[in-house]
Structure formats: structure tokens, C-alpha cells
Structure 1
Amino acid sequence: MAELLGVENLSAGYGEARVIQNLTFSLQDGQSLALLGRNGVGKTTLIDSLIGVTTRFGGKIALAGEDITALPPHLRARRGVGWTPQERNIFRSLTVEENLTAVELPGEWSAKRVYGLFPRLQERRSNMGRQLSGGEQQMLAIGRALVLNPRLLLLDEPTEGLAPIIVDELLGALRELARAGLSMIIVEQKPKKILPFTDEAIVLDRGSIAYAAPSAELIADPAALDAHLTATKKAGR
């Protein structure tokens, strides 16, 4: 299995403020990574750094062997970096169908396939973005990222603030994406939601990697998982 993403000694932040420090990790093609930790430890900053919207103080990012460190966000997207932000960023004045077809690129993922993944969207294909519930907007945001046919999909807390029934639907869709071999990095504060279908896990604390292990290892040892996450909370007090 070839390496898809390689991050080496990455330090980044916003303006003059450094948020993440000397992060080094990799992700193999076809695998998924759970990015864990409490609020404010640098998870979103890492995602922002991978898409290219932070200040980089040092380090290197490679995608499929190509150095993308100096590329702006739109060129990283063309190389295959997809992104679903917390804010969702859908076109609220366009229909569901228009949201998907406006950005669709040739590849395995089309609007039709997105409808298969999220039947709710097909039912609401003529609804405006602003008419959707929060959960439906999140599904649409993921669908918009998928029709760009990314090699790596970054999801920043996709289940935050959603009703349990919608959370279950979203997690089911993410499991399906993982089974299909789409590489993903998923930010989540509740690890038990995503560890069962991710391959690797990283716990961040104060901008650094506090712990990294296969997801299965953390599932098999819940006490260790609790200990690492509790340790990050105590350290941040």
C-alpha cells in the first residue's frame, strides 16, 4: 500500500501565532485517520494547514509523493484534497441538485452516486440549500466534496450539533466511504463514533501529537483511550 499523505515536522497557525508544532505522520492510500482531542488543541488548524489556509512556519506536506507545501488551496483541491468544514459552506440560494452539479468533476463520484449514499438528498433535490435541516446541509456539504472526486477527504467534526438519528445516518455513510477505500481524516471529539471504521488514530494536545496508534488498538483497550484523552484535558487546564 502506497503512502498518500506525508506530513513532516509541520508547524503552522494564524498570523504570528503558532498553533501546531512539529507534527509528523503519514496516511496510506485507502486508509482513514481519526483525529482526536479536546477543543482548542489544534485539530482544525491541522485540517486548515492541509488545505492551505494557515501560516506555515516550517515543515512539509506531500500528497501521493508530490510536495504540495507551497501550493495554494485551489491547486491542492485539484490535486485531490477535498474538505468539509464545520461551517458546511453550501450554496444556500441554490437547490440541492444545483449545489452538486455546479462543482461536479469527472470521476467515480457523481450527483447520482451521492443520492445513493444520502437518499434524503435525492428526496430534497429541488429544495434550496437554506430549506434543509442542519443534518441535510451536512450531507450536502459532504456530497459537494465527493463530486470533486478527491483522493483525500478532510471532515471537520461532521456530526457536531446534529440529532442522533442524523448522526447515525452520517456515520453509516462514512463507514461506506471507508469500505469503498476513500482515504479520510475525520476530526471528532467522541472517538467511539469513528474508531470502528478508521485505520489509524492520532490524539492531539496543545498542538502536538500526544498519542498515535491503530484504531483497533484503542478499541481493544478503552482504558488506554480514556487515559490519553483525559491526560490531554488535564494538561490543558
Structure 2
Amino acid sequence: MELLRIENLSAGYGEAVVLQGVSLALDPGKTMALLGRNGTGKTTLINTLAGATRQHGGSITLAGKALHKLPSHERAAAGIGWVPQERNIFKSLTVHENLTAVARPGKWTSDGVYTMFPRLAERKGNLGTQLSGGEQQMLAVGRALVLNPKLLLLDEPLEGLAPIIVEELLRAIRRITREEGLSAIIVEQHPQAILAISDSAVVLDRGTVVHAGTAQQLRDQPHLLEQHLGVAR
């Protein structure tokens, strides 16, 4: 049974429609790379799943539950773990308070997050404002995990980070999705890094799906990447 099904989705901000007629599906334990040039609707799609846009039409179903009828806080309870571009950590709380304030019962605990991100364990008592950009991103991922979601949404998790931090985050994301089997949708500007750890790939252009297939297919056919994203391997 599919974990996520999006049917004929139209959404945007206020009266402005950014996404039009988007349909896609994701199976349990699978990772989808969501690709496209800047301004093609990738973030809008992630935000719409999280309940942070205005939906004009279509449906979103997560594990058989109609998400599009729920406000954003209820979507978290239904199984959405969201790491937005802005990270949205509580900057006036410590690392440990950030993780325990939102935790829901399940496999992922703050201790599990500390094991995966030893840097956070060392900074348990530090406030969000005292963390580097990379550490804030790790904390944002950890905070989504302790919700014990069914689906993890990552919006450009590697953006603007030092290469060594990018490697660390990619290792963690691979572990979360590949070894722990958590389903994920990952938005990324640099496709190769994410395609390597994804099962499927969807390319958006002007708010519609222009390509959907396996991640392997895009990796093996650089001309497709070039055609849709204007990037060479």
C-alpha cells in the first residue's frame, strides 16, 4: 500500500497558484528526490504537505488519512516530520529542550539523535542561537525525527553548509532512510548527492511534474538532468 498519494494538487499563497495538477505517490520506506530549478514549486510542494500554503484543489493522503483537510499541527500528529529551509528551531531553548519539547513516543528519542549527531550531544546545554548553521540543521533534522514521523520532508538540507557538514548530514540521511527505513522527500539544488540515496525522482517545472521515474534513471542519463535542470554531471 502506498504511504503518500497526491492527486491533482493545486496550491500556492493567497490567490497565487504555484502548483497545478501535481500527482505523485511514494511507497513506505522509500526516498524521493524532488528536483527542479529555482522557483519551480519544490518548496511550495513541501510546504503544502506540511500545511503551510493555501490549497486550491486536489487531495493528499498519508497512510490512508486525508491530510489536506487537516491544519498543520494535526499533520505532524498524523505523521509528517518537516525540516523547512528556515530550520525553525526554538532559538531561545537549549538543544536538549528543543528535542524534548516536541518528542512523541516511538523509536526515535533524543538519545538516538545524539548518537547520530555527536556534535549535538556535546552541545546539549547550548541555546539554539549558540549553534553554527550546520549544527542548527542537525538539530532541525533531530527535532523532526523525535516526532517519530511516517514521512520526513527535507527542504534543501545541505544548502549553504561546509563540505564536511554536508558529508555528515548525507551520512545521517542515508542512515535514516536506508538503514532505518523512514520514508522521505528531499528537495535539493545539487541533484547528484541526493539521487545517490534516493529511490525515485520527480522534476518540477513551473509548478507541474515534467519528469517522474527512478533516481537511477536520472543518474545514468545526465542528458535528462541537463534538459530539466540545466546541470551537467
TM beyond 0.5: yes
* C-alpha distance after superposition, 1:152-197 (max 9, x if no partner): 0101101111111111111110010111110000000100010011
2:116 pairs with 1:104: no
Report the Cα offset of residue 121 of structure 1: 0.5
Once residues 175 and 117 of structure 1 are traced to their aligned partners in structure 2, the CA distance between those partners, rounded to angstroms, is 11
How does 1:211-222 map onto structure 2 within 5 Å? 211-222=211-222
How does 1:62-81 map onto structure 2 within 5 Å? 62-81=61-80
* C-alpha distance after superposition, 1:8-65 (max 9, x if no partner): 0000000000000000000001101000011110011101110112111110000111
- Matched with 2:144 is 145
2:59 pairs with 1:49: no
2:207 pairs with 1:207: yes
Once residues 8 and 161 of structure 1 are traced to their aligned partners in structure 2, the CA distance between those partners, rounded to angstroms, is 33
- Matched with 1:184 is 184
Once residues 106 and 158 of structure 2 are traced to their aligned partners in structure 1, the CA distance between those partners, rounded to angstroms, is 27
Q: Secondary structure at the match of 1:197?
A: coil
Residue type at the aligned position of 1:182: L
Once residues 50 and 126 of structure 1 are traced to their aligned partners in structure 2, the CA distance between those partners, rounded to angstroms, is 32
Report the Cα offset of residue 126 of structure 1: 1.3
Once residues 105 and 17 of structure 1 are traced to their aligned partners in structure 2, the CA distance between those partners, rounded to angstroms, is 35
How does 1:1-237 map onto structure 2 within 5 Å? 2-179=1-178, 180-230=180-230
Once residues 53 and 149 of structure 2 are traced to their aligned partners in structure 1, the CA distance between those partners, rounded to angstroms, is 21
* C-alpha distance after superposition, 1:73-123 (max 9, x if no partner): 111110101100111111111111111111111100000000111111011
Once residues 58 and 90 of structure 1 are traced to their aligned partners in structure 2, the CA distance between those partners, rounded to angstroms, is 31
Structure 2 segments unaligned to the other structure (5+ residues): none
Structure 1 segments unaligned to the other structure (5+ residues): 232-237
Once residues 213 and 229 of structure 1 are traced to their aligned partners in structure 2, the CA distance between those partners, rounded to angstroms, is 15
Q: Secondary structure at the match of 1:61?
A: strand
Report the Cα offset of residue 227 of structure 1: 2.1
Residue type at the aligned position of 2:138: M
Task: Give the TM-score, by structure 1 length.
Answer: 0.95
Once residues 78 and 221 of structure 1 are traced to their aligned partners in structure 2, the CA distance between those partners, rounded to angstroms, is 39
Residue type at the aligned position of 1:193: A
Once residues 65 and 146 of structure 2 are traced to their aligned partners in structure 1, the CA distance between those partners, rounded to angstroms, is 23
Once residues 12 and 199 of structure 1 are traced to their aligned partners in structure 2, the CA distance between those partners, rounded to angstroms, is 26
Residue type at the aligned position of 1:215: A
Report the Cα offset of residue 224 of structure 1: 2.1
Once residues 89 and 76 of structure 1 are traced to their aligned partners in structure 2, the CA distance between those partners, rounded to angstroms, is 16
Residue type at the aligned position of 1:40: G
Aligned residues: 230
Would you say the 8 A contact 2:32–2:198 is kept in 1?
A: yes
Bigger shift: residues 65-74 or 168-177: 65-74
Report the Cα offset of residue 228 of structure 1: 2.1
Runs of 4 or more, structure 1, over 4 Å off, are: none
Once residues 160 and 49 of structure 1 are traced to their aligned partners in structure 2, the CA distance between those partners, rounded to angstroms, is 20
Once residues 121 and 107 of structure 1 are traced to their aligned partners in structure 2, the CA distance between those partners, rounded to angstroms, is 20
Residue type at the aligned position of 2:94: T
